[in-house]
Chain A
């Protein structure tokens, strides 16, 4: 990070980076990551990530802590540089362009608001740096405050006296004041309580629509990612596992990792028997019906807890039926989650309270799912 700040190499293309970004049409690729790798002391933190981000989209990189998402964001902001590979903006490499010469602006995890300045001074700071005259700055600051729904009276308020949500808005307004084409968000909502977080997520999505900027967001919560984004990239151990729309990721995960990252799920290891049918070691002697997918390798069946059905008497028959023992029930408000055991395999089931069929711990029940409700993955 420090190194990036010290390197003030003035590459000829840096003047044009901002202009270039403005000329790109919405929907076209604005940022192109080409085989980006980053090593820290020979530890490979980012392993060959290639990714195109389109202008005006809300793109979220999601991954567990240590997956390298912050490193990628830093490289996009110019605070770090790839060890190999390239970051291309509108056809020109910007890998070595310093942060103050890029059309990107970051909203930091802990916001990095200047504590000795008022809300207005914070928002005006990037404009002051650009040399915009005082009255214009002030007008623009009020505009931006309105955009992020901060009351006008906050202009002179000490920024440290603002609440968590208000600070969030100040930080976003300050980033917008820099007039970047791309806004980068480094998990800014992680330190905020759940209820306010939901509100701010909504506001952020609205703001994205109103501002017409490209948003690149990172978070460790896939729920948050799916809630706000146009497209999501799932990162694990420095590798990009899957990129797609939220529904693609949820309904067609490419691996167990992606499937289980999205939420609690049941994973059954399955293999093809000599007879050409599918079997699962968790349910010995049972033939499993798997939707045809043209692949006879061993793999895993992903069955979401809400896709399991209780096979009460007279229920519509299911393709696969197993017998389970109810261990525990956890109320989640609108849903109830059950912890079940089928032999030694733990299974999760989710029902709405209205359709719980009076299941209670200690019961033995039958569970079923259709072949189409399960997702087959090979890794």
Chain B
């Protein structure tokens, strides 16, 4: 139907173009995957001997176990903190009509509209001057600065879809403020909160630019990969890179299905 409106050739061109662009987006990810399956110490294509040796080495490496744990720890803490702060922020952003709202809506966008490496360097300067030792704590703080606004926006989308008359109706039916929050507001906002948590976890897990300057001695996966990348080729780089990509994909798919299931249960999928 839409085809005819747009013109058949235009539609075909746009389909092909989109597939090319998507291919372009995923080509390097596939390259990482392919080279992780090579047996040799040095990569050359076409691959002569395929093997899972480097996967075994990567998974069993103590050092890598340590940095994966760091990355997970940071992502978990960032997820929890940014969701709590972002939930409040989303209420301020979309639920309540208060006088400073317009300004708040603009200010919260600033960290998203700011180059992360520059923010990371500015935070590094702040930590150094304040005499704070860099560790995973400072990395969590740095991640929060730009992940919280993203989480706020994600939850705010759900809050916009929330009809405040439901709260008025519940009140009219005799419910207390606490009960309204627990039984009406919170359940209806859950899909948004879940999505926010998902974004927080994934963005923190894959963050490089902020971690680069703020993790100190506690390495994260992206930062470790970077130090290995510039030091010369080791098959562990594409292997761990692919592993980290797969973890992100798994989290996104499982988390996305959870959000979908919650929505489905509420009859709004």
Contact = CB atoms under 8 A, between A and B. Distances in A.
Given A105-B172, A116-B187, A161 B165 contact: no
Given A79-B172, A112-B163, A161-B267, 6 more contacts: A100-B175, A112-B165, A114-B169, A114-B188, A115-B267, A129-B176
Given A79-B168, A106-B169, A116-B188, A159 B267 contact: yes
A125 B172 CA distance: 11
Nearest to B180: A5
A112 B267 contact: no
28 contacts: A2-B97, A5-B177, A78-B172, A98-B171, A99-B168, A100-B175, A104-B172, A106-B169, A108-B169, A112-B165, A112-B166, A112-B169, A115-B188, A115-B266, A115-B267, A115-B268, A116-B267, A125-B175, A125-B183, A126-B175, A129-B175, A129-B176, A130-B174, A158-B267, A160-B266, A160-B268, A174-B173, A175-B173
Interface string A154-173: 00001111000000000000
A141 B88 CA distance: 36
Interface in B24-70: none
B250 to A, nearest CB: 28
A21 to B, nearest CB: 15
Interface of A: 1-2, 5, 8, 77-79, 98-100, 104-106, 108, 110, 112, 114-116, 125-126, 129-130, 158-161, 174-175, 178
A1 B166 contact: no
A159 B268 CA distance: 11
Interface in B50-103: 96-97
Contacts of A105: 172-173
A117 to B, nearest CB: 9
Contacts of B183: 125
A14 to B, nearest CB: 12
Contacts of B188: 114-116
A327 B64 CA distance: 90
Interface in B242-269: 265-268
Contacts of B172: 77-79, 99-100, 104-106, 178
B169 to A, nearest CB: 4
Contacts of A106: 169, 172
B134 interface: no
The residue among B96, B165, B167, B184 with the most chain A CB atoms within 10 A of its own CB is: B165
Contact of B171 (A100, A110, A174): A100
B203 interface: no
B228 interface: no
Contacts of A116: 187-188, 265-267
A105 B170 CA distance: 10
Contacts of B163: 110, 112
Nearest to A78: B172
Contacts of A98: 171
A158 B168 CA distance: 21
Interface in B148-204: 163, 165-177, 179, 183-184, 187-188
Contacts, number: 75
Interface of B: 96-97, 163, 165-177, 179, 183-184, 187-188, 265-268
The residue among A1, A99, A116, A175 with the most chain B CB atoms within 10 A of its own CB is: A116
The residue among A1, A98, A129, A161 with the most chain B CB atoms within 10 A of its own CB is: A129
Nearest to B173: A126
B267 A5 contact: no
Contacts of A78: 172
A115 B189 CA distance: 12
A214 to B, nearest CB: 16
A178 B173 contact: yes
B179 A129 contact: yes
Contacts of B170: 114, 125
A106 B268 CA distance: 25
Contacts of B187: 116
A319 B163 CA distance: 59
A110 B165 contact: yes
Contacts of B179: 129
Nearest to A125: B173
A343 B113 CA distance: 69
Q: Which 3 A-B pairs have the closest CB atoms?
A: A112-B169, A160-B267, A126-B173
B183 to A, nearest CB: 8
Contacts of B165: 108, 110, 112
A161 B166 CA distance: 18
A125 B171 CA distance: 11
The residue among B173, B176, B179, B267 with the most chain A CB atoms within 10 A of its own CB is: B173
The residue among A5, A161, A174 with the most chain B CB atoms within 10 A of its own CB is: A5
A77 to B, nearest CB: 6
A178 B268 contact: no
A100 B169 contact: no
A178 B267 contact: no
Contacts of A158: 267
Nearest to A77: B172
B210 to A, nearest CB: 37
Contacts of B97: 2
Nearest to B262: A116
Contacts of B177: 5, 8
Nearest to A109: B165
Contact of B167 (A5, A130, A160): A5
Nearest to B162: A115
A114 B184 contact: yes
B51 to A, nearest CB: 51
Nearest to B169: A112
A98 B172 CA distance: 8
B137 to A, nearest CB: 38
B168 A1 contact: yes
A157 to B, nearest CB: 10
Nearest to A74: B168
